[in-house]
Amino acid sequence: MKLLFIAPLLLLIMTTQAQSKQQTEVANVVERLRNAMVDANRAELDAIASDKLSYGHSTGRVENKQEFVENIASGKSDFVSIELKDQTVSVSGNTAVVRHELHAKTNDGGKPGEAHIKILLVFQKQGGKWLLLARQAVKMV
């Protein structure tokens, strides 16, 4: 009788630990993405983004991987700093959903500015790596 109680409990604990490990992995990739965007690091942006990336801006503009990487790496979209707040990470199989607020100082085209938006990121585990598959930003209200 004890086994009937202990087995499901152990399964729940193991599942929770696996979820936490995957959530930590995804959160680490989000941090790498944040740093790569501030540093305009072309190689890192390219390594994090899926070839099928759909990157949506709060203005409605949507970029593919090549456009996203080029706009950041060239400085067209220039992030001086990025702070992420209230982040949540949910993992289901090989898909992860991340939500957070993004507060940034920008310098697009030499014009200082700020961005305050909410972000939805979708990551997919491909070849053992979490890659950014989709991003959608919305204006904060």
Separation in Å, CA 36 to CA 8, 39, 48, 81, 82: 42, 5, 9, 11, 11
The span from the CA of 25 to the CA of 29, in Å, is: 6
User: Quick one: pLDDT at residue 141?
Assistant: 84
What average pLDDT does range 81-109 have in this prediction?
97
pTM of the predicted structure, to 2 decimals: 0.86
What average pLDDT does range 119-141 have in this prediction?
97
User: Quick one: pLDDT at residue 37?
Assistant: 98
Domains along the sequence of the chain with CATH: 2-139 (3.10.450.50)
**Would you state the structure tokens that stand for residue 59, as one six-digit string?**
């203005």
**Each residue of 21-77: pLDDT tens digit?**
999 999 999 999 999 999 999 999 999 999 999 999 999 999 999 999 999 999 999
Determine how β-strand 49-56 pairs with β-strand 111-126.
unpaired
Which of the four pLDDT bands, split at 50, 70 and 90, describes residue 14? very low
**Would you state the structure tokens that stand for residue 54, as one six-digit string?**
């759909």
Query: Percent of the chain, pLDDT > 90?
Result: 84
Q: What is the mean pLDDT of the chain?
A: 91
The span from the CA of 96 to the CA of 66, in Å, is: 22
55 forms bridges with which residues in the sheet?
63, 135
